[in-house]
């Protein structure tokens, strides 16, 4: 069931509303599960899954590869960059001037692309690409399981239509590994501190808790995001009424986020979750995100079941390639779906 978090995981927002992140136990009975997945997607666009079938060893191997990569020198890491379209990025997010307090690897999930990229990323490219491919295969299965539950819970006729897109060989899904260094940066190794002071000042002004913005507020453009982090906090999600909820980290479990494309596919019944990462810790946070996307030429329109004469489509049809192009022409936090709304 969508269980509220235990008291230790509850947070009090400024408006003193006690809230918890919905948690879904995947070992529960299937018919109940799909109902609860839909409820969590409607209420938060976000939930945690426990009792999933991704092996710990698969997660640990990718985490090790991430650690090994980020511990390299700046010039070694830059050999894998720039991140546009894929590779290593440091502080710059996207092409329009967004900045974060992080470094990252952004990869396409196509195995050929991974094997090519591995050569500039790792000392042992085969070991790296095996760890990445195994992780992708495992989280893809988890994604598909969740999407099948979504369609089951929405009583959609072809309940595999979304998971088919993700399994498609031409799927445009991505993998991202983010590393947020600790806030106290003086003397931080392997982290280029030029331009940092101005950036830190700007972050502090925008944030009265004196936290640094690791990754600014945004929603993910894709269908679904599956996120896993080490045991370091920082992730916050926004509720529909604009309250920020800190999400306690849980290295053994996964967090699921509704993306913009799923908002359109459900004709606005689900709303993509706005989230951000604040770095306020003395430990580095490492997170891994699988962004589940359809093939580039796929048309994103509401599922037929979600459109009725009383509930017409809210969005003009567009391909995934068109949506990506729009996303990359805007800033990180922009409401990019507005461009496709039917007035
Ligand atoms: C957010 C989700 C994924 O991390 C990402 C990001 C992408 C990037 O970092 O290059 C974007 C961002 C994300 C949304 C708007 C555009 C594109 C940066 C940016 C300003 C890889 C993605 O697909 O969209």
CA of 92 to the centre of ligand 1 (A): 11
ipTM greater than cut 0.90? yes
pLDDT class of 4 with cuts at 50, 70, 90 = very low
Show the tokens assigned to 86.
């894929």
pLDDT(203) > 80: no
Ligand 1 pocket by Cβ (under 6 Å): 93-94, 96, 98, 106, 174, 176, 218, 220-221, 291, 327-328, 331-332
Q: Is 30 a catalytic residue?
A: no
- Protein residue closest via CA to atom 14 of ligand 1: 332
pLDDT band (50, 70, 90) for residue 208: very low
More confident residue, 151 or 210: 151
Q: What is the predicted pLDDT for the residue at 191?
A: 57
For residue 10, name the pLDDT band (cuts at 50, 70, 90). Answer: very low
CB-hemisphere CA count at 13 Å for 231?
A: 2
State pLDDT tens for residues 99-144.
999 999 999 999 999 999 999 999 999 999 999 999 999 999 999 9
Catalytic annotation, pick one of 269, 285, 331, 336: 285
Atom 10, ligand 1: residue with shortest CA distance = 94
Ligand 1 geometric centre to CA of 286 (Å): 17
Could you tell me the distance, in angstroms and rounded to a whole number, from the CA of residue 106 to the centre of ligand 1?
A: 10
- pLDDT for residue 298 is more than 80: yes
User: So what's the pLDDT on residue 190?
Assistant: 53
Average pLDDT of the residues of the chain: 89
Tell me the mean pLDDT in the region 319-340: 98
CA of 98 to the centre of ligand 1 (A): 10
Q: Is the pLDDT of residue 222 over 90?
A: yes
Per-residue pLDDT band for 19 (boundaries 50, 70, 90) equals low
21 closest CA partner among 277, 292, 235? 235
Radius of gyration of the chain (CA): 19
For residue 291, which phi and psi values (nearest 5 degrees)? -100, 105
Residues 226-232, mean pLDDT to the nearest whole number: 97
Q: pLDDT of 131-140, one tens digit each? A: 999 999 999 9
Ligand 1 atom closest to Cα of 174?
A: 21
Contact 302, 318 (CB under 8 A): no
DSSP secondary structure letter of residue 304:
G
Can you give the pLDDT at residue 261? 98
Percent of the chain topping pLDDT 70? 86
Question: pLDDT digits over 62-93, tens only?
Answer: 999 999 999 999 999 999 988 889 999 999 99
d(CA 32, CA 29): 6
Q: Residue 343 has what pLDDT?
A: 82
> Whose CA is closest to 294, among 209, 169, 185?
169
């Amino acid at each position: 069931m969508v269980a509220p978090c235990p008291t230790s995981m509850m947070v009090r927002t400024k408006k003193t509303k006690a809230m918890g992140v919905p948690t879904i136990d995947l070992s529960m009975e299937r018919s109940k599960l799909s109902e609860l997945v839909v409820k969590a997607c409607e209420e938060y666009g976000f939930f945690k899954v426990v009792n999933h079938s991704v092996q710990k060893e698969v997660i640990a191997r990718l985490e090790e590869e991430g650690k090994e990569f980020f511990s390299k020198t700046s010039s070694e890491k830059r050999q894998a960059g720039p991140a546009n379209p894929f590779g290593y990025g440091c502080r710059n997010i996207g092409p329009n001037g967004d900045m974060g307090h992080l470094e990252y690897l952004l990869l396409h999930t196509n195995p050929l692309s991974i094997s090519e990229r591995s050569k500039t990323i790792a000392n042992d490219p085969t070991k790296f690409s095996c760890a990445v491919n195994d992780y992708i295969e495992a989280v893809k299965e988890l994604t598909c399981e969740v999407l099948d539950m979504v369609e089951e819970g929405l009583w959609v006729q072809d309940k595999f239509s979304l998971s088919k897109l993700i399994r498609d060989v031409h799927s445009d899904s991505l993998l991202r590994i983010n590393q947020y260094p600790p806030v106290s940066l003086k003397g931080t190794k392997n982290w280029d501190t030029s331009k940092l002071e101005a950036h830190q000042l700007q972050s502090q002004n925008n944030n009265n808790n004196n936290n640094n913005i690791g990754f600014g507020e945004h929603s993910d453009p894709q269908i679904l995001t599956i996120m896993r982090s080490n045991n370091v906090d920082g992730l916050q999600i926004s509720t529909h009424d604009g309250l920020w909820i800190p999400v306690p980290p849980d290295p053994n479990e996964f967090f699921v986020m509704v993306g913009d494309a799923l908002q359109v596919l459900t004709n606005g019944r689900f709303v993509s979750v706005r989230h951000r990462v604040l770095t306020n810790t003395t430990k580095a946070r490492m997170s891994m995100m699988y962004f589940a996307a359809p093939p580039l030429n796929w048309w994103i329109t509401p599922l037929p079941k979600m459109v009725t004469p009383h509930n017409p489509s809210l969005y003009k049809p567009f391909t995934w390639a068109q949506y990506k192009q729009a996303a990359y022409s805007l800033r990180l936090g922009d409401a990019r779906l507005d461009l496709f709304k039917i007035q």
